[in-house]
Amino acid sequence: MPTIVAGEVTLHYEESGRGAPVVLIPGTGARGRTWWLHQVPALVAAGYRAITLDNRGAGRSGPVGPSLTVADLVADAAALIEEVAGGPCRLVGTSMGSLIIQELLLVRPELASRAVLIASRARPDPMSLALAAAERQLADSGVKLPRAYDAATRALQNLSPRTLADPAVVQDWLDILELSPTTWNDPGLRAQMDAALDTDRRPAYAGIGVPALVLSFADDLVAPPARGRELAAAIPGAVYEEIAGAGHYGYLERPEAVNEAILRFLAA
Protein backbone atom coordinates (compact mmCIF):
# COMPACT_ATOMS: atom_id res chain seq x y z
CA MET A 1 0.00 0.00 0.00
CA PRO A 2 1.99 3.05 -1.20
CA THR A 3 1.73 6.07 1.10
CA ILE A 4 3.42 9.34 1.91
CA VAL A 5 3.23 11.41 5.08
CA ALA A 6 2.14 15.04 4.68
CA GLY A 7 2.33 16.78 8.02
CA GLU A 8 0.22 14.73 10.40
CA VAL A 9 -1.64 12.86 7.65
CA THR A 10 -0.83 9.64 5.84
CA LEU A 11 -1.91 9.82 2.20
CA HIS A 12 -2.60 6.71 0.16
CA TYR A 13 -2.00 6.71 -3.58
CA GLU A 14 -1.77 4.25 -6.45
CA GLU A 15 0.06 4.47 -9.75
CA SER A 16 0.37 2.71 -13.09
CA GLY A 17 2.41 3.33 -16.23
CA ARG A 18 5.90 4.64 -16.90
CA GLY A 19 5.55 7.88 -18.87
CA ALA A 20 5.06 11.52 -17.91
CA PRO A 21 3.08 11.72 -14.65
CA VAL A 22 -0.59 12.67 -14.48
CA VAL A 23 -2.09 13.16 -11.00
CA LEU A 24 -5.84 12.52 -10.70
CA ILE A 25 -7.82 13.89 -7.74
CA PRO A 26 -11.36 12.65 -6.97
CA GLY A 27 -14.42 14.44 -5.65
CA THR A 28 -16.03 14.59 -2.22
CA GLY A 29 -16.03 11.23 -0.44
CA ALA A 30 -14.64 9.39 -3.46
CA ARG A 31 -11.52 7.24 -3.53
CA GLY A 32 -8.75 7.49 -6.06
CA ARG A 33 -9.87 4.09 -7.36
CA THR A 34 -12.85 5.75 -9.07
CA TRP A 35 -10.41 6.80 -11.81
CA TRP A 36 -9.22 3.24 -12.42
CA LEU A 37 -12.31 1.98 -14.22
CA HIS A 38 -11.91 4.27 -17.25
CA GLN A 39 -9.37 7.11 -17.02
CA VAL A 40 -6.28 5.31 -15.73
CA PRO A 41 -6.31 2.61 -18.46
CA ALA A 42 -6.72 5.30 -21.14
CA LEU A 43 -3.86 7.38 -19.74
CA VAL A 44 -1.52 4.39 -19.41
CA ALA A 45 -2.36 3.25 -22.95
CA ALA A 46 -1.47 6.75 -24.16
CA GLY A 47 1.96 6.49 -22.52
CA TYR A 48 1.39 8.36 -19.26
CA ARG A 49 2.10 7.42 -15.66
CA ALA A 50 -1.23 7.78 -13.83
CA ILE A 51 -1.14 8.58 -10.10
CA THR A 52 -4.41 8.59 -8.14
CA LEU A 53 -4.84 10.06 -4.66
CA ASP A 54 -7.16 9.25 -1.78
CA ASN A 55 -7.85 12.71 -0.32
CA ARG A 56 -7.57 12.85 3.44
CA GLY A 57 -10.85 11.62 4.88
CA ALA A 58 -11.46 9.13 2.07
CA GLY A 59 -10.26 5.64 1.24
CA ARG A 60 -7.06 4.68 3.02
CA SER A 61 -5.86 8.22 3.73
CA GLY A 62 -6.16 9.79 7.15
CA PRO A 63 -6.71 10.70 9.83
CA VAL A 64 -8.87 13.75 9.25
CA GLY A 65 -9.43 16.28 12.01
CA PRO A 66 -12.12 18.89 12.50
CA SER A 67 -12.21 22.08 10.43
CA LEU A 68 -10.77 20.57 7.26
CA THR A 69 -10.11 23.29 4.69
CA VAL A 70 -9.49 23.40 0.96
CA ALA A 71 -6.01 24.70 1.83
CA ASP A 72 -5.33 21.44 3.73
CA LEU A 73 -6.31 19.38 0.70
CA VAL A 74 -4.22 21.60 -1.58
CA ALA A 75 -1.20 21.04 0.67
CA ASP A 76 -1.79 17.28 0.49
CA ALA A 77 -1.93 17.36 -3.31
CA ALA A 78 1.25 19.46 -3.45
CA ALA A 79 3.06 16.95 -1.25
CA LEU A 80 2.00 14.10 -3.51
CA ILE A 81 3.17 15.94 -6.63
CA GLU A 82 6.54 16.74 -5.08
CA GLU A 83 7.23 13.35 -3.51
CA VAL A 84 5.62 10.92 -5.97
CA ALA A 85 5.32 12.69 -9.32
CA GLY A 86 8.70 14.31 -8.77
CA GLY A 87 7.81 17.83 -9.76
CA PRO A 88 5.56 19.71 -12.18
CA CYS A 89 3.02 17.47 -13.90
CA ARG A 90 -0.35 17.30 -15.57
CA LEU A 91 -3.36 17.39 -13.23
CA VAL A 92 -6.91 16.07 -13.62
CA GLY A 93 -9.71 16.57 -11.09
CA THR A 94 -13.45 16.26 -10.84
CA SER A 95 -15.84 18.21 -8.61
CA MET A 96 -14.02 18.83 -5.29
CA GLY A 97 -10.87 17.46 -6.92
CA SER A 98 -11.11 20.25 -9.50
CA LEU A 99 -11.51 22.84 -6.73
CA ILE A 100 -8.34 21.53 -5.10
CA ILE A 101 -6.46 21.89 -8.39
CA GLN A 102 -7.88 25.37 -9.06
CA GLU A 103 -6.56 26.58 -5.71
CA LEU A 104 -3.23 24.79 -6.19
CA LEU A 105 -2.78 26.64 -9.50
CA LEU A 106 -2.83 29.87 -7.48
CA VAL A 107 -0.53 28.97 -4.59
CA ARG A 108 1.80 26.38 -6.20
CA PRO A 109 1.65 27.00 -9.97
CA GLU A 110 5.17 25.64 -10.41
CA LEU A 111 3.82 22.15 -9.68
CA ALA A 112 1.44 22.06 -12.68
CA SER A 113 2.12 22.00 -16.40
CA ARG A 114 -1.51 21.59 -17.53
CA ALA A 115 -4.81 21.10 -15.69
CA VAL A 116 -8.14 19.48 -16.56
CA LEU A 117 -11.01 20.73 -14.39
CA ILE A 118 -14.06 18.46 -14.66
CA ALA A 119 -17.55 19.28 -13.34
CA SER A 120 -16.44 22.40 -11.53
CA ARG A 121 -17.30 26.03 -10.91
CA ALA A 122 -15.72 29.33 -9.80
CA ARG A 123 -18.49 30.53 -7.48
CA PRO A 124 -21.38 29.14 -5.47
CA ASP A 125 -25.02 29.89 -6.24
CA PRO A 126 -28.17 29.56 -4.12
CA MET A 127 -28.76 25.94 -5.18
CA SER A 128 -25.20 24.77 -4.53
CA LEU A 129 -25.17 26.46 -1.13
CA ALA A 130 -28.55 24.95 -0.24
CA LEU A 131 -27.46 21.47 -1.30
CA ALA A 132 -24.21 21.70 0.68
CA ALA A 133 -26.06 22.89 3.78
CA ALA A 134 -28.71 20.19 3.44
CA GLU A 135 -26.11 17.43 3.13
CA ARG A 136 -24.26 18.70 6.21
CA GLN A 137 -27.54 18.71 8.14
CA LEU A 138 -28.28 15.17 7.00
CA ALA A 139 -24.83 13.98 8.05
CA ASP A 140 -25.19 15.66 11.45
CA SER A 141 -28.69 14.30 12.05
CA GLY A 142 -27.60 10.70 12.46
CA VAL A 143 -30.39 9.53 10.16
CA LYS A 144 -29.56 6.34 8.25
CA LEU A 145 -31.11 6.40 4.80
CA PRO A 146 -32.29 3.10 3.27
CA ARG A 147 -29.82 1.96 0.63
CA ALA A 148 -32.44 1.90 -2.11
CA TYR A 149 -33.48 5.48 -1.37
CA ASP A 150 -29.87 6.67 -1.28
CA ALA A 151 -29.18 4.97 -4.62
CA ALA A 152 -32.29 6.38 -6.30
CA THR A 153 -31.68 9.96 -5.17
CA ARG A 154 -28.00 9.83 -6.18
CA ALA A 155 -28.97 8.52 -9.61
CA LEU A 156 -31.48 11.36 -10.11
CA GLN A 157 -28.96 13.96 -8.94
CA ASN A 158 -25.88 12.75 -10.81
CA LEU A 159 -26.95 10.99 -14.02
CA SER A 160 -28.31 12.33 -17.30
CA PRO A 161 -31.92 11.95 -18.50
CA ARG A 162 -30.56 9.79 -21.33
CA THR A 163 -29.16 7.29 -18.84
CA LEU A 164 -32.25 7.42 -16.65
CA ALA A 165 -34.45 6.67 -19.67
CA ASP A 166 -32.64 3.40 -20.48
CA PRO A 167 -34.14 0.67 -18.24
CA ALA A 168 -31.19 -1.72 -18.42
CA VAL A 169 -28.50 0.92 -17.97
CA VAL A 170 -30.21 2.72 -15.12
CA GLN A 171 -30.83 -0.58 -13.33
CA ASP A 172 -27.11 -1.32 -13.51
CA TRP A 173 -26.39 2.08 -12.01
CA LEU A 174 -28.96 1.59 -9.23
CA ASP A 175 -27.43 -1.77 -8.38
CA ILE A 176 -23.92 -0.27 -8.23
CA LEU A 177 -25.02 2.71 -6.15
CA GLU A 178 -26.94 0.51 -3.73
CA LEU A 179 -23.83 -1.62 -3.21
CA SER A 180 -21.80 1.51 -2.40
CA PRO A 181 -24.12 3.66 -0.26
CA THR A 182 -23.22 7.12 1.01
CA THR A 183 -21.72 6.75 4.50
CA TRP A 184 -23.33 9.86 5.96
CA ASN A 185 -21.97 9.10 9.44
CA ASP A 186 -18.37 8.83 8.22
CA PRO A 187 -16.22 11.54 9.87
CA GLY A 188 -13.99 11.82 6.82
CA LEU A 189 -16.90 12.51 4.49
CA ARG A 190 -18.35 14.99 6.97
CA ALA A 191 -15.03 16.84 7.17
CA GLN A 192 -14.77 17.02 3.39
CA MET A 193 -18.25 18.56 3.25
CA ASP A 194 -16.82 21.61 5.04
CA ALA A 195 -14.09 22.02 2.39
CA ALA A 196 -16.51 23.50 -0.13
CA LEU A 197 -16.60 26.50 -2.43
CA ASP A 198 -18.48 29.22 -0.52
CA THR A 199 -17.13 32.44 -2.05
CA ASP A 200 -16.80 33.87 -5.56
CA ARG A 201 -13.27 32.97 -6.71
CA ARG A 202 -13.49 34.48 -10.21
CA PRO A 203 -11.32 37.50 -9.37
CA ALA A 204 -8.63 35.24 -7.88
CA TYR A 205 -8.70 32.80 -10.80
CA ALA A 206 -7.82 35.66 -13.14
CA GLY A 207 -4.30 35.17 -11.76
CA ILE A 208 -3.98 31.56 -12.97
CA GLY A 209 -1.31 31.20 -15.63
CA VAL A 210 -1.33 27.43 -16.14
CA PRO A 211 -3.04 26.10 -19.31
CA ALA A 212 -6.44 24.71 -18.28
CA LEU A 213 -9.31 22.77 -19.80
CA VAL A 214 -12.70 23.20 -18.15
CA LEU A 215 -14.87 20.18 -18.96
CA SER A 216 -18.58 20.40 -18.15
CA PHE A 217 -21.51 18.02 -18.69
CA ALA A 218 -24.67 19.24 -20.37
CA ASP A 219 -27.02 17.57 -17.84
CA ASP A 220 -24.99 18.27 -14.68
CA LEU A 221 -27.32 19.50 -11.91
CA VAL A 222 -24.52 19.85 -9.32
CA ALA A 223 -22.08 21.88 -11.43
CA PRO A 224 -24.18 23.12 -14.37
CA PRO A 225 -22.50 24.07 -17.65
CA ALA A 226 -23.20 27.76 -16.98
CA ARG A 227 -20.93 27.57 -13.94
CA GLY A 228 -18.28 25.77 -16.00
CA ARG A 229 -18.37 28.48 -18.64
CA GLU A 230 -17.90 31.09 -15.92
CA LEU A 231 -14.89 29.20 -14.61
CA ALA A 232 -13.31 28.99 -18.04
CA ALA A 233 -13.96 32.70 -18.63
CA ALA A 234 -12.27 33.54 -15.33
CA ILE A 235 -9.02 31.68 -16.14
CA PRO A 236 -6.95 33.47 -18.80
CA GLY A 237 -6.66 31.35 -21.93
CA ALA A 238 -8.69 28.44 -20.54
CA VAL A 239 -10.39 26.07 -22.99
CA TYR A 240 -14.04 25.17 -22.40
CA GLU A 241 -15.61 21.93 -23.60
CA GLU A 242 -19.08 20.53 -22.91
CA ILE A 243 -20.10 16.89 -23.23
CA ALA A 244 -23.72 16.06 -24.04
CA GLY A 245 -25.75 13.26 -22.49
CA ALA A 246 -23.95 13.23 -19.15
CA GLY A 247 -24.58 14.41 -15.60
CA HIS A 248 -22.24 15.07 -12.68
CA TYR A 249 -20.87 11.52 -12.93
CA GLY A 250 -20.01 12.19 -16.57
CA TYR A 251 -16.46 10.85 -16.31
CA LEU A 252 -18.07 7.48 -15.50
CA GLU A 253 -21.22 7.93 -17.58
CA ARG A 254 -19.52 8.93 -20.87
CA PRO A 255 -15.90 7.88 -20.30
CA GLU A 256 -14.90 7.63 -23.97
CA ALA A 257 -15.79 11.27 -24.65
CA VAL A 258 -14.16 12.39 -21.41
CA ASN A 259 -10.97 10.43 -22.07
CA GLU A 260 -10.75 11.80 -25.60
CA ALA A 261 -11.01 15.38 -24.31
CA ILE A 262 -8.45 14.78 -21.56
CA LEU A 263 -5.89 13.13 -23.83
CA ARG A 264 -6.28 15.73 -26.56
CA PHE A 265 -5.66 18.57 -24.10
CA LEU A 266 -2.81 16.91 -22.19
CA ALA A 267 -0.96 16.25 -25.44
CA ALA A 268 -1.38 19.78 -26.82
Give the max Cα distance, the chain.
Answer: 48
CATH of the domain spanning 3-125+199-267, picked from 3.40.50.1820, 3.40.50.300, 2.60.40.1930, 3.80.30.20: 3.40.50.1820
Q: Quick one: what percent of the chain has pLDDT higher than 70?
A: 100
Who contacts 199 (Cβ-Cβ below 8 Å, separation ≥6)? 123, 124
Q: Which of 61, 95, 98, 216 is catalytic?
A: 95
Residue 58: pLDDT over 90: yes
- Which pLDDT value is given to residue 211? 98
Whether residue 24 contacts residue 57, with contact meaning beta carbons closer than 8 Å, is answered with no
Q: What pLDDT, in 10s, does the model give residues 82-93?
A: 999 998 999 999
Q: Rounded mean pLDDT of the chain?
A: 96
- Which pLDDT value is given to residue 223? 98
Residue 1: pLDDT over 90: no
Q: Which of 12, 98, 128, 248 is catalytic?
A: 248
Residue 62: pLDDT over 90: no
Q: What CA–CA distance (Å, rounded) separates 249 from 247? A: 5
Q: What CA–CA distance (Å, rounded) separates 23 from 11? A: 14
Residue 248 is among the residues annotated as catalytic for this protein: yes
Residue 95 is among the residues annotated as catalytic for this protein: yes
Q: What pLDDT, in 10s, does the model give residues 18-37?
A: 999 999 999 999 999 999 99
Who contacts 145 (Cβ-Cβ below 8 Å, separation ≥6)? 138, 181, 182, 184
Residue 216 is among the residues annotated as catalytic for this protein: no
Q: Which of 76, 150, 219, 220 is catalytic?
A: 220
Q: What pLDDT, in 10s, does the model give residues 220-253?
A: 999 999 999 999 999 999 999 999 999 999 999 9
Q: What pLDDT, in 10s, does the model give residues 169-202?
A: 999 999 999 999 999 999 999 999 999 999 999 9
Backbone torsion region of residue 177, taken as left when φ is above 0, otherwise alpha when ψ lies between -120 and 50, otherwise beta: alpha
